[in-house]
Amino acid sequence: MPSPIPNQVAILEITADQAGQRIDNFLHTYLKGVPKSHVYRILRTGEVRVNKGRIKPTYRLQASDKLRLPPLHYDTPILPNPRHVQSLVDTILYEDAQLLIINKPAGLAVHGGSGIDFGVIEGLRALYPKLHHELVHRLDRDTSGCLMIAKKPSMLRSLHELLRTGGIRKHYLALVQGHWDPRLTMVEAKLQKNILLSGERMVRVHANGKPSQTQFNIEQRFATTTLLRINPLTGRTHQIRVHTTYAGHPIAGDVKYGNEEFNHEMHRYGLNRLFLHAHQLEINFSQQECLTISAPLAINLQQVLQRLSTESMKNMVK
């Protein structure tokens, strides 16, 4: 449960139920109301210690760990707009006592920070102040679709294990430039993440990168574009966007890895965002229990596909 913000050094002993969480995720929940940027600062500067030693934000807590928290002084964060918070209710696709799945809108970050005051987690914590919400995985700010949020640490650990072992299958829809070769059903290209001087994350294919695999299947062809159904087998940052560009078919509306001329052309069809949508999740809890949740395409993306289809039909008539 969230705790009062310490105004002096505090020592916590990690319980068995808290064990297994990344320390940054634990602190976001435990220090409710402390800005994300401040949490990362005290981790980066070594003010947070575990068993008297410095740790990285990715460190996973162990039962009986002794966690040292420094006194915390920070500016009061801006509260989320109640209208934005309430709008999250309309995005809920599935909910039970342990798991929440929403259809995240494009343009909404999963977390506040880096100049963003409001994200999915901030909204949910404002909406359900007495509940524990943690991201199971992430979606880029410009990507829409299925996003899993765990309500309990035990569910978070279970879903992370399923992600590691392939028990969760993700299906995306993406509109890409050109005609995708139907023989190209898998891209395996190592990805390396780089942080620019501006702080922006960029990912590129590199021999020293991490192994990355993405499956591709053609969903629909148009005159100059292809709608793909995509299954990432690994979960690297920007994986789908980089792999499609590496294959010579950047995603429509991708201003970071895409083709500027192609993006401008797609404006004619009313596309003003990244055409990448997390369409479906298949969660295999066991051989007997499987949960499948789908998120419909946003109306504006459906309209883009309809215009492309109409133009393709006209070209066939000619």
Give the SS3 label for residue 100. Answer: strand
- Give the closest residue to 192 by CA, choosing from 205, 176, 181: 205
Beta carbons of 110 and 124 less than 8 angstroms apart:
no
Beta carbons of 91 and 296 less than 8 angstroms apart:
no
Beta carbons of 154 and 107 less than 8 angstroms apart:
no
By 3-state DSSP, what share of the chain in percent is helix, strand and coil, each rounded to 5? 25, 30, 45
The answer to whether 140 is a known catalytic residue is: yes
Helix ranges, the chain (H):
23-30, 36-44, 82-87, 120-127, 153-165, 239-246, 260-266, 299-317
Characterize the bridge pairing of strands 213-221 and 225-232: antiparallel
Residue type at 109 in one-letter notation:
A
**What is the rounded distance in angstroms from the CA atom of residue 161 to the CA atom of residue 196?**
31
**What is the rounded distance in angstroms from the CA atom of residue 228 to the CA atom of residue 217?**
6
Active-site entry in 24, 90, 140, 254: 140
Residues identified as active-site = 140
